[in-house]
Amino acid sequence: MANSIARTLNPGRRVSLDGTHGHTASVARSLAWIALPWLVPVACAVLWVLGSHYGWISPQILPSPTLVFDTLGGLASSGELWMHIGASLSRIAVGFTGGVVLGLLLGAWLGLSRTAEAYILPSFNAVVQVPVLGWLPFLMIVVGIGEPLKYLLIGHAALVPVTLSTLQGFRRTPPAYLDVARVFRYSRRQTIFNVILPSAVPVIGTGIRLAFTKAWLTLVVVELVASSEGLGYLIVYGRQLFQLDLVLASVLIVGVIGYAADRLLTVLEHKLSPARLA
């Protein structure tokens, strides 16, 4: 009714009113897309708070949020939390970096050479069918339970998705791009770095994000089994003492770090995409 009166009194303002309404709707949609991913975590947090407050779940099974965050604060203030985070991050840095570099090189080789693909890819596919943790007993015998064990398993977890995504990215280069490269008489090196690699960046980026997820999960599980420090060790230590507040505090830190790293990789992938670079 108010809009009708406004248009009657001042028809020239119709575009302005419609434009304002469209802008408001666009802002509302943007805010909705930002808020939607947080609905489930917020709902779980509310249920957690209500359940602990009204005693729906025994504190021995699910400690209250206050106790968990008090435990987290105590770990942080004592410096123990930072020691375990540093140990886990150093392991993921070495293992993940090594796995990504080897995966990029191996995937590029397979993607550029049909001969290499024919000889190497079948054996590679057979080996990767064995779960990462399936190699744990064998590697414990070969290299012991020290840091090399963790680096090898984390690197293996990152190697597989990066290799396969790089191979697929190189093979999915649009033929039109290659035709243009031939018209301009690009050398093989120019074709790889100026045509094939930029077009493969989105696929490779997705593979690296998946590789980090697998490497991070592998790190935590390996630390559960064979470690005396790290976030995984902190989880199993809390379970052994039946301190579930310590377990949940450690799980929260694992989730926060994993989520932050995934968001960072997403931003880097977006910045390195061909459309962005263009």
What distance in Å separates the CA atoms of residue 231 and residue 250, rounded to the nearest whole number?
A: 6
Q: What is the pLDDT of residue 274?
A: 60
pLDDT of amino acid 97: 95
Give percent of the chain with pLDDT exceeding 70: 88
Distance CA 27, CA 89 (A): 38
C-alpha to C-alpha distances, 191 to 164, 197, 214, nearest whole angstrom: 21, 8, 32
Q: Which of 34, 54, 74 is the last residue of a domain?
A: 54
In this structure, are 98 and 192 located in the same domain?
Answer: yes
Residue 228: CATH number of its domain? 1.10.3720.10
CB 170 within 8 A of CB 112: yes
Same domain, 9 and 112: no
Same domain for 239 and 162: yes
Range from 9-13, 37-41, 188-192 carrying the lowest mean pLDDT = 9-13
Higher local confidence (pLDDT), 107 or 136: 107
- Does residue 17 have a pLDDT over 50? no
pLDDT attached to residue 214: 93
- The token duo for 202 is 């989105």
Number of domains forming the structure of the chain: 2
Same domain, 12 and 105: no
The set of long-range contacts for 127-133, using a CB threshold of 8 Å and a minimum separation of 24, is 128/160, 132/156, 132/157, 132/214, 132/218, 133/218, 133/221, 133/222
- Predicted confidence (pLDDT) at residue 1 exceeds the cutoff of 60: no
**Alpha-carbon distance values, 240 to 116, 224, 234, 237, 243 (Å):** 49, 11, 10, 5, 8
Range of the domain at 267: 65-277
The answer to whether the CB of 84 falls within 8 A of the CB of 233 is yes
Residue 113 lies in a domain: yes
CA-based nearest residue to 95, from 63, 126, 132, 130:
132
pLDDT digits (tens, 9 = 90+) for 33-77: 777 777 887 888 888 888 777 778 777 778 888 888 999 999 999
Q: Tell me: do 166 and 40 sit in the same domain.
A: no
Establish if 238 belongs to a structural domain: yes
Q: Give the pLDDT confidence score for residue 23 in this predicted structure.
A: 64
Verify that 152 and 132 share a domain, yes or no: yes
Residue 60 belongs to some domain of the structure: no
Higher pLDDT, 269 or 130: 130
Residue 192 in any domain: the answer is yes
Q: Does residue 33 belong to any structural domain of this protein?
A: yes
- Structural domain contains residue 125: yes
Amino acid residing at 277: L
* Same structural domain, 33 and 126: no
Average confidence score pLDDT of the chain: 84
Contacts of 128 (CB under 8 A, 6+ apart): 160
114 and 193 co-located in one domain: yes
Both 87 and 159 in one domain: the answer is yes
Residues 7 and 135 in one domain: no
Question: Do 197 and 72 fall within a single domain?
Answer: yes
Residue 84: the pLDDT is: 93
Residue 59 located in a structural domain: no
> Could you tell me if 8 and 127 lie in one domain?
no
Task: Tally the residues of the chain.
Answer: 278
